[in-house]
Amino acid sequence: MASPSRSSSPPGRAQLRKVVVYSLLSLDGVAEEPGDWMFDVDAEVFAFLGRVIETQDDVLLGRGTYDYWVDYWPTSEVQPFADFINSTPKHVFSSHPLWGTWQNEQLVTAPVEDHVQALQAGLGGDIGVHGSITLVQALLAADLVDELHLVVAPTITGRGARLFPSGINGPLRLACTGQSLTPSGTLLLSYARSAEGGQHVPSRL
């Protein structure tokens, strides 16, 4: 699969594969256990997910997400994600051996930044990140995220791990590339690195 155009990428990154994060969020920014607070999933949500994953041919997973998913997705019929996640190479970051037998899984013990930069420099389409809250935060801290696609449910959870916790490196300048509202009130938001390069910009406010 040819790498999508990155004409809006900052200088020095134009030929690199994109790292693309997809995450389900509550209104108060919680990404943990979406099954507990995401009550309505419209057809538009599945279509949005399908558009995001159609350009991805590698997936990065944290160990917690791997352990949570390895017994579910291999036998799931929930599309379009089941076929995608089962057939796509999965790079699982962990210091311990993988205990599952998931198709196309690969243990990664190298530092996150080193492994991801090596993938970016190779051939292929986008590199997806799904679930994996801690891994997403590490990629954001290393300034390696090119796109964020967020499904924001109309629910306030009041507790749980947030995707963007207090103290995360920032501010990070992004450009909104898409937004829509589903019939159930779920927001579908897409962001990309800004034309200024997505660098951290000192706040003047």
Helix (H) or strand (E) holding 69: helix 63-69
pLDDT of residue 4: 38
Residue type, 30: V
Q: Which of 124, 84, 129 is nearest to 108 (CA)?
A: 129
Query: Is 198's pLDDT higher than 80?
Result: no
- Categorize the per-residue pLDDT at 205 as very low, low, confident or very high, splitting at 50, 70 and 90: very low
Residues counted in the chain: 205
CATH code for the structural domain at 19-193: 3.40.430.10
- Residue 166, amino acid: S
pLDDT at 12: 46
Token digits of residue 109: 């013990």
Sign of the torsion angle spanned by Cα atoms 194, 195, 199, 205: negative
Average pLDDT estimate for 144-160: 96
pLDDT of 168: 73
Exposure pattern of 53-69 as b/e (b: 16+ CB <10 Å)? bebbbbbbbbbbbbeeb
Three-state SS across 37-48? Answer: CCCCCCHHHHHH
- pLDDT score of 100: 87
Average pLDDT over residues 152-166: 93
150 three-state secondary structure: strand
Tell me the average pLDDT across 109-123. 97
Predicted confidence (pLDDT) per residue in 26-54, tens digit? 999 999 999 999 999 999 999 999 999 99
pLDDT at 43: 97
